[in-house]
Amino acid sequence: MPAEWETHLATYLVWPHNRATWPNKFEPVPAAFARIAVALSECEPVRILVKDASAADEVRRILDAASARMDRIELLHISTNDSWVRDYGPIFVNRLDSNSGARQIALDWRFNSWGEKWGAYDLDDVVPKRLSERFGFEVIEPGIILEGGSIEVNGAGVLLTTESCLLNPNRNPKLNRAEIENHLRSYLGVTRVLWLGEGIVGDDTDGHVDDLARFVNRDTIVTVVESDPADENYRSLQDNLQRLRAMRDQDGRAFKIETLPMPQPVSFEDARLPASYANFYIANRAVLMPTFDCAADDQAAATLGRLFPGREIKRIPCSDLVLGLGAIHCLTQQHPAHS
């Protein structure tokens, strides 16, 4: 599986339409989502899934008003249950064949709405097949439940994930840790699987790694830390930090560990939301970073700017988006260029 910073053919998005995902707060979501589409269209082609022609007309109007590069945006008529394409969209890998060399295939993992938490997911679960019908890429089904936000790779053989998600019995109750690792090695081409512990408070995915720690290059990981010992995220993030410092890469060497702050707590109706600067997305010439209208925004932007030289840090306000319990990385899925 290529690392996210490798060149993209396109990025997939699913236009927000499920009002239950943002209860009592849906109105600002399309405009917030449009900022993501605009920022991406400045860097690479964008493929946006919409319900039908009528929805496409409305999306086109919103994007035109936001000055999106419409020559780089394609609207696809594919119905979905929700917008979190990171978790149910195709995950592309390069399959090595001794006779024909490398060819790109898409993995269609099973999806069950994060442990059957949020209602119907039948349309989401078939998105990889629908996209393959449109674009003609080959699809393979590994046969187990896995969400894209639960894994992070460095493109050189290392995969990072969490115990709280992948070992949760609401995903693959008949598989143990070793069996899950075997699937990851077989289908993603990794040689080393590294495990973090718990996710952040408010994360309904049971602890996706893309809210915790991300590879920024083959030998460097950036992770979120909480500076306030009284904060409910402090202990679990400190545990993850210590685990990262003890981890080794595909060649047995220690990783360089960098840190991002946590934003000040974001809540809605007394519920803590999973706001995290780790939920950034690496586009071809930019990094889209979530912001939460707090002092830590500048510190996070400065850190990511240092870690991604040559890429523009595009700040995307996400205080409204995170009401749906996700942010930029959760709403995007890359289609790597063929190696």
Q: What is the domain range of residue 78?
A: 8-336
pLDDT tens digits along 136-149: 999 999 999 999 99
The reply to whether 131 falls in a domain is yes
The reply to whether 2 falls in a domain is no
The H or E element containing residue 302 is helix 296-307
Location of structure tokens 């009284």: 230
Q: Counting Cβ atoms within 10 Å, is residue 154 exposed (0-12), middle (13-18) or buried (19+)?
A: buried
Report helix angle 29-41 to 53-65, nearest 10: 70
* 279 to 200, 237, 241, 287, 322: CA distances (angstroms): 12, 15, 17, 11, 10
| Gap between the Cα atoms of 268 and 322, Å rounded | 10
The CATH number of whichever domain residue 88 belongs to comes to: 3.75.10.10
pLDDT tens digits along 105-116: 999 999 999 999
pLDDT of residue 277: 98
The reply to whether 3 falls in a domain is no
The reply to whether 65 falls in a domain is yes
| Gap between the Cα atoms of 221 and 154, Å rounded | 9
- The encoded tokens of residue 327 equal 């942010």
| Gap between the Cα atoms of 150 and 204, Å rounded | 12
pLDDT of residue 339: 63
* 295 to 74, 139, 253, 298: CA distances (angstroms): 36, 44, 35, 6
Q: How many domains does the chain have?
A: 1
Mean pLDDT per 10-residue section of the chain, whose length is 339 residues:
98 97 94 97 98 96 96 98 98 86 93 96 98 97 98 98 98 98 98 98 98 98 98 98 98 98 95 97 98 98 98 98 97 92
The reply to whether 78 falls in a domain is yes
| Gap between the Cα atoms of 99 and 90, Å rounded | 25
Q: Note the Cα 32 to chain centre separation in Å.
A: 17
- Going by C-alpha positions, the residue among 238, 258, 315, 278 that lies closest to residue 152 is 278
Do residues 260 and 313 make contact, with C-beta atoms less than 8 angstroms apart? no
The reply to whether 81 falls in a domain is yes
Amino acid at 199: G
The reply to whether 34 falls in a domain is yes
271 beta partners: 268
pLDDT of residue 99: 75
Active site residue ranges? 330
| Gap between the Cα atoms of 128 and 37, Å rounded | 20
Location of structure tokens 């439940």: 145
41 three-class SS = helix
The reply to whether 1 falls in a domain is no
pLDDT of residue 10: 98
Q: What angle do CA 281, 286, 291 make, to 5 degrees?
A: 55
* 115 to 96, 102, 110, 235: CA distances (angstroms): 33, 34, 11, 25
Do residues 318 and 291 make contact, with C-beta atoms less than 8 angstroms apart? yes
| Gap between the Cα atoms of 37 and 181, Å rounded | 34
